[in-house]
Amino acid sequence: MPSSILYLALYGSFTIIVTLTQVLAAAQQVGLSTLAGNRENLILTGLAGRLERATNNSLFALALITPAVLMTHLYDAANNLTAQIMLTFLLARIAYVTLYAFGIAWLRTGAWLTAFLCTALLYGGLVL
């Protein structure tokens, strides 16, 4: 399996773990019966709220990075630089979620920006 595809699979797996962690934190905060309801007016706070936002952002990032990685492989444009960009993306996203969960704002923003730039670099490599 090419490295960038492996890193994408690892990020997808990490996103699943983040989602499960968020659900467990939310269940601890509001109870399982509330989560099983319609959640129309549910507002999570603290760790559960931060994890909810990090989960949503992680899913958005996954939706953006996946086509870039797959197109890179489809057009045989993958190389060592692509793998390094994906590794940087993966590590930055792990840092982002961790920093977000602990409420560390400025470092979290730096991690988000790093991962976003990695995504932009992959798309840039496809169109330039």
Confidence band of 17 (pLDDT split at 50, 70, 90): very high
Whole-number percent of the chain with pLDDT over 70: 100
Whole-structure pTM value: 0.94
Give the per-residue pLDDT at 128.
82
Mean pLDDT of 54-68: 98
CA pseudo-torsion sign 85, 4, 125, 18: negative
Confidence band of 37 (pLDDT split at 50, 70, 90): confident
Give the per-residue pLDDT at 78.
87
- Measuring CA to CA, how many Å separate 21 from each of 55, 74, 107? 9, 33, 21
SS (H, E, C) 24-88: HHHHHHHCHHHHHCCCCCCCCCHHHHHHHHHHHHHHHHHHHHHHHHHHHHHCCCCCHHHHHHHHH
Residue 1 has pLDDT above 80, yes or no: no
Residue 25 has pLDDT above 90, yes or no: yes
pLDDT digits 0-9 by tens, 88-116: 999 999 999 999 999 999 999 999 999 99
The pair of three-digit structure tokens given for residue 39, joined into one six-digit string:
């959640």
Give the per-residue pLDDT at 77.
87
End-to-end alpha-carbon separation of the chain, Å?
26
